[in-house]
A = this chain, B = another copy of it.
C-alpha cells in the first residue's frame, strides 16, 4: 500500500510543541495531496529515562525500524545532564544513530532573507551562501573504543578514532551525488597532515572522484575550513567530512547563517530511510510556554518528503507556505525584531497550514 509509516518522537523541552505543529502540516498534506500517513509515537531521550529508565527503549527502536521515516523533536535538558552515561539523553541519540544505521547527517545551512540581519556576519559576506554539510554519523572517534587506564603519569583516558574504507566510500559517494544535484562543488574536509584516518579518507575521496568528473573537488584541512567558512561562506556548495569535524563545522556553518532556529536536518541510512529533526535543541528555558518556533520542524517534514518519500510537490508547497507566512511579517519571539508583536507556536503552525 502507499501508506507511509512515520515514527514520531516528540522528545523533551519544546520537542512536543514543535512536533505538534509539524503533525498538523502532515495532516494538511494528506488532505491536499491524498497521501496517507500512519504515525506512531515513541518515547526517547529524557522523558524515556524518566518513564522507562533508559534514553532509548527497545520498543522505540522497534517502532523506528518498522517505520519509513522518523520525525524527531529534540532531546535533552539540564535535568539529565549529570546522570551517568547510560542515563543521558545523548547516549540515546548516539544509540539510535548506530542502531538505525544512520551514517549520514545532512545539514543545509540556508540563509533566510528575512533573517539575514540576524547573522553576525556582514550581509555582503553572507550573500549567496547556500551550503550543505554532509557529516559521517556512525563512525570515527564517536564510536571507537573508549576507556580509562593507569599510566606512568597517573590515570589516563583513551578515545579511538577508526574508519574503514567502506564507511568512507558510502558517505563520500553520497556527498558527490548531492553535489551533482546542486552546484557541483565538493569540499572534502580532513586533517590529512596529522591523522591516519584522514589520510585514508583522502585516498578514498581521490579514488571516487573520477566517477564524478563534473564535480569540482577540493581538499580542505579542518582548521582552514573553520576559517574559510568565515571568510568566504558563499564559495562552498557541499562539504563532506568525518563525524567529529562535522559536528563542529556544521554548527559553525549553521550559526553563521543567522538562521539556526529555522534549520532542518536529515540523518540517512541505507535506502530511503531517514530521521528528520530541527537543528535547534530542546530549549528547556522556553518549553511549555507555547512561544517556540515550529518552522525548523515543519521544514524537516519537507525534507522528509523530498529525501525519503519523493513527494517533491508537497515539499515545495510546505517551503512556499513558510516563505509566504514569513514574508507577510509573522514571527515567533525568537526571530521577531519587535518582540511585542511575536505570535505563538500554534498560531505560527496554523498560519503555515493555512498557507499550504
Contact = CB atoms under 8 A, between A and B. Distances in A.
Given A151-B164, A164-B154, A226-B252, A159 B196 contact: yes
Given A122-B122, A147-B196, A160 B157 contact: no
Interface string A109-144: 000000000001110010000000000000001101
A9 to B, nearest CB: 19
Interface string A198-240: 0111000000000000000000001110110011000000000
Grouping DSSP codes into helix (H, G, I), strand (E, B) and loop, the A interface class, with mixed when no group exceeds half, is: helix
A247 interface: yes
8 contacts: A94-B194, A153-B165, A153-B167, A157-B195, A157-B197, A158-B162, A161-B161, A230-B255
Contacts of A226: 226, 248-249, 251-252, 255
A158 to B, nearest CB: 5
Interface in A245-260: 245, 247-252, 254-256, 260
Nearest to A93: B193
Interface of A: 88, 90, 94, 120-122, 125, 141-142, 144, 146-148, 151, 153-167, 191, 193-197, 199-201, 222-224, 226-227, 230-231, 244-245, 247-252, 254-256, 260
Contacts of A90: 193-194
Nearest to A225: B248
Nearest to A90: B193
Contact of A248 (B88, B159, B162, B223): B223
Nearest to A123: B122
A302 B121 CA distance: 32
Given A90-B193, A120-B122, A141-B195, 7 more contacts: A121-B122, A154-B166, A155-B164, A158-B161, A159-B196, A191-B244, A252-B252
Contact of A160 (B88, B161, B230): B161
Contacts of A249: 226
Contact of A121 (B88, B120, B164, B167): B120
The 10 closest A-B pairs by CB, nearest first: A156-B164, A157-B200, A146-B196, A154-B165, A227-B255, A153-B166, A226-B252, A120-B125, A223-B251, A157-B196
